[in-house]
């Protein structure tokens, strides 16, 4: 098969940020289509942007991408390094020019970066500050990249979380317990919401709707009183917990300040000074554990926690993610052949389309409050962390 005309002769491919299922399938899709359809040379850059700065590469071809479709993680390795601020010999240095120089040395017409929100920013920076041609593909289990309907990795993670919730249901019902299940999503609640609905969680807490513990407790008590259900599944995004913690710390700081003032007024020792004299610090309780402890004492129902952690990012990609990454990868090769650079290959209405990177970099896609997933959860009677009245007010605002 003779290759089709191509404006691109050679590309580098890197994976950056947290890994997720589907990265290898995407690498395979780009590599196979680029070589077979357009005769483009493909080079793999190791360990994200650090590999570009350090000029560490491997060849990508039919042999090196054979058998990786179903493999989790990334055969290229990944890191959270940023070219603009990279830790080198203990100091944070701007390595932008080193990255660009290596890309030129390697003869890359374009560097294809597979990653989430941070990667979009880093790739755009290399283009703006270094004049490098870049292209990105949207990956993250958080599904929070702007400009695309969906990111790859999300479907697999949602499946893993849903299966976990299914399993937690059977043990929660047997023991009449509240189980708090913590899922990833440091800024957004797509994963908690999607898996929460799919797994039939009773309470879903996401960062987009800061939760009110009293509303959750009232809901759980009502569930017990009206339906006789003493077990409940509370699916919470890590970002919702972090947000509640920030609010709690601010409230604590304000009340401490007030307490110190009254102790000082009374000429006594401050609360802080007494605590410091013990010489020990407590091992910090996890935020999910604190939520479970509070729910346990406020509802008088035994509670447990399960934090799914990096299990959510491991293992084989789902069929939907394999299909999506293969579509994205082969589309990327087509756009490269056209000479379409400095874009993210996004999914819109089921199609892969190039979106200018400048429209995407630095943006975050949160769950809109009028999103149909939220309306669906509400319609089912799921608690979303606030009273129904408050929720409706926010949804319709
Ligand atoms: O992949 C995105 C994400 O899953 C976030 O939700 C989470 O906070 C973060 O990665 C944690 O990743 P790591 O432990 O690799 O830094």
Residues 167 and 120 in one domain: no
- Domain membership of residue 145 (yes or no) is yes
Atom of ligand 1 nearest to the CA of 187: 6
Tell me how far the alpha carbon of residue 292 lies from the centroid of ligand 1, in angstroms: 22
Provide mean pLDDT across the span 95-112.
98
CA distances to 84, 114, 133, 256, 362 from 95, rounded to whole Å, are: 6, 20, 17, 44, 20
User: Is residue 346 included in any domain, yes or no?
Assistant: yes
Ligand 1 centre distance from Cα of residue 265 (Å): 46
Q: What is the mean pLDDT of the chain?
A: 94
* The pLDDT value given to residue 265: 62
> Are 174 and 271 in the same domain?
yes
Identify whether the C-beta of residue 169 lies closer than 8 Å to the C-beta of residue 200: yes
Taking only Cα atoms into account, the Rg of the chain, rounded to an integer number of angstroms, comes to 24
Q: Which residue has the tokens 């050679």?
A: 10
**Which structural domain, as residue segments, surrounds residue 206?**
156-313+369-396
Task: Tell me the CA–centroid distance for residue 320 and ligand 1, in Å.
Answer: 21
For residues 218 and 213, what is the distance between their CA atoms, to the nearest angstrom?
9
Question: What's the confidence (pLDDT) of residue 254?
Answer: 80
* The total number of structural domains that make up the chain: 2
- Say yes or no: CB of residue 142 within 6 Å of ligand 1: yes
How is 98-132 classified by DSSP, letter by letter?
HHHHHHHHTT-SEEEEEESHHHHHHHHHHHHHH--
In-domain check, residue 259: yes
Query: Quick check: 86 and 27 in contact, CB under 8 A?
Result: no
**pLDDT of res. 264:** 59
Same domain? 99 vs 162: no
Q: Among this protein's residues, is 212 annotated catalytic?
A: no
Does residue 300 share a domain with residue 164? yes
**Residue nearest ligand 1's atom 12 by CA:** 18
**Rounded to whole angstroms, what are the CA distances from 183 to 96, 177, 349?**
34, 19, 27
Within this chain, do residues 273 and 339 fall inside the same structural domain, yes or no?
no
7 with 39: CB under 8 angstroms?
Answer: no
Assess whether the C-beta atom of 241 lies below 6 angstroms from ligand 1. no
Do the domain assignments include residue 81? yes
Co-location of 301 and 160 in the same domain: yes
pTM of the model: 0.92
For residue 185, the CA-to-ligand 1 centroid distance in Å is 7
* 72 plus 133 within the same structural domain: yes
115 CB under 6 A from ligand 1? no
Query: Quick check: CB of 141 below 6 Å from ligand 1?
Result: yes
Helix axes 238-266, 287-299, angle to 10 degrees: 80
Q: What is the predicted pLDDT for the residue at 274?
A: 42
Residues 350, 380, single domain; the answer is no
- Is the pLDDT at 193 greater than 60? The verdict is yes
Task: Please report, for the domain that includes residue 168, its CATH number.
Answer: 3.40.50.460
Q: In angstroms, rounded to a whole number, what is the distance separating the alpha carbons of residues 124 and 83?
A: 11
Is residue 140 lining ligand 1, measured as CB closer than 6 Å? yes
Mean pLDDT of 92-115: 98
**Per-residue pLDDT at 76 exceeds 50:** yes
Per-residue model confidence (pLDDT) at position 279:
63
Choose, from 19, 47, 109, 142, the residue flagged as catalytic: 142
State whether 225 and 166 are in the same domain: yes
Q: Do residue 382 and residue 331 come from a single domain?
A: no
2 located within any domain: no
Distances (CA, A) of 253 to 20, 239, 277, 289, 294: 38, 21, 20, 21, 20
How many residues comprise the chain? 397
4 is a domain residue: no
Residues 255-270: tens digit of each pLDDT: 777 777 766 565 444 4
Q: Are residues 23 and 142 in the same domain?
A: yes
Query: Does residue 5 sit within a domain?
Result: no
Query: Do 15 and 58 form a contact (C-beta atoms < 8 A)?
Result: no
Both tokens assigned to 25: 């399938």
Inside any domain, residue 55: yes
Q: Indicate whether 104 and 249 sit together in one domain.
A: no
Find the CATH number of the domain harbouring 105: 3.40.50.450
pLDDT category, 83, cuts 50, 70, 90? very high
Tokens representing residue 310 in the block:
């990096």
Q: pLDDT (tens digit, 9 = 90+) per residue, 358-390?
A: 999 999 999 999 999 999 999 999 999 999 999
What residue's CA is closest to ligand 1, atom 15?
Answer: 18
Residue 215 and residue 387: Cα distance in Å, rounded? 6
């Amino acid at each position: 098969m003779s290759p089709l005309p191509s404006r691109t002769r050679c590309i580098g491919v890197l994976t950056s940020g947290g890994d997720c299922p589907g990265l290898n399938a995407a690498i395979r899709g780009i590599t196979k289509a680029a070589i077979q359809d357009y005769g483009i040379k493909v080079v793999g850059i190791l360990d994200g942007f650090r590999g570009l700065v350090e000029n560490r590469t491997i060849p990508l071809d039919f042999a090196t991408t054979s058998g990786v479709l179903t493999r989790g993680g990334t055969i290229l390795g990944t890191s959270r390094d940023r070219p603009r601020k990279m830790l080198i010999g203990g100091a944070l240095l701007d390595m932008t020019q080193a990255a660009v120089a290596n890309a030129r040395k390697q003869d890359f017409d374009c560097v294809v970066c597979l990653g989430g929100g941070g990667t979009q920013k880093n790739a755009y920076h290399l283009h703006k500050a270094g004049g490098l041609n870049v292209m990105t593909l949207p990956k993250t289990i958080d599904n929070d990249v702007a400009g695309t309907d969906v990111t790859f990795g999300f479907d697999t993670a949602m499946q893993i979380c849903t299966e976990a919730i299914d399993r937690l249901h059977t043990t929660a019902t047997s023991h009449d317990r509240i189980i708090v299940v913590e899922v990833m999503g440091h800024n957004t609640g797509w994963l908690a919401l999607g898996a929460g609905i799919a797994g039939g969680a009773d309470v879903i807490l996401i960062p987009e709707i800061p939760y009110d513990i009293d509303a959750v407790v009232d809901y759980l008590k009502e569930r017990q009183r009206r339906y006789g259900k003493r077990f409940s599944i509370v699916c919470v995004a890590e970002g919702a917990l972090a947000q509640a913690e920030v609010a709690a710390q601010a409230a604590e700081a304000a009340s401490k300040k007030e307490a110190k003032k009254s102790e000082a007024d009374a000429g006594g020792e401050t609360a802080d000074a007494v605590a410091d004299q013990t010489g020990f610090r407590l091992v910090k309780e996890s935020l999910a554990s604190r939520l479970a402890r509070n729910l346990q004492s406020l509802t008088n129902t035994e509670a447990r926690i399960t934090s799914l952690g990096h299990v959510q990012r491991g293992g084989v990609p789902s069929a939907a993610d394999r299909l999506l990454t293969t579509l994205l990868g082969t589309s990327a090769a087509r756009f490269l052949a056209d000479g379409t650079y400095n874009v993210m290959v996004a999914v819109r209405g089921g199609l892969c389309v190039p979106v200018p990177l400048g429209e995407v970099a630095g943006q975050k896609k949160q769950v809109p409050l009028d999103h149909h997933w939220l309306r669906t959860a509400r319609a089912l009677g799921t608690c979303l962390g606030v009273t129904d009245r408050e929720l409706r007010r926010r949804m319709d605002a």
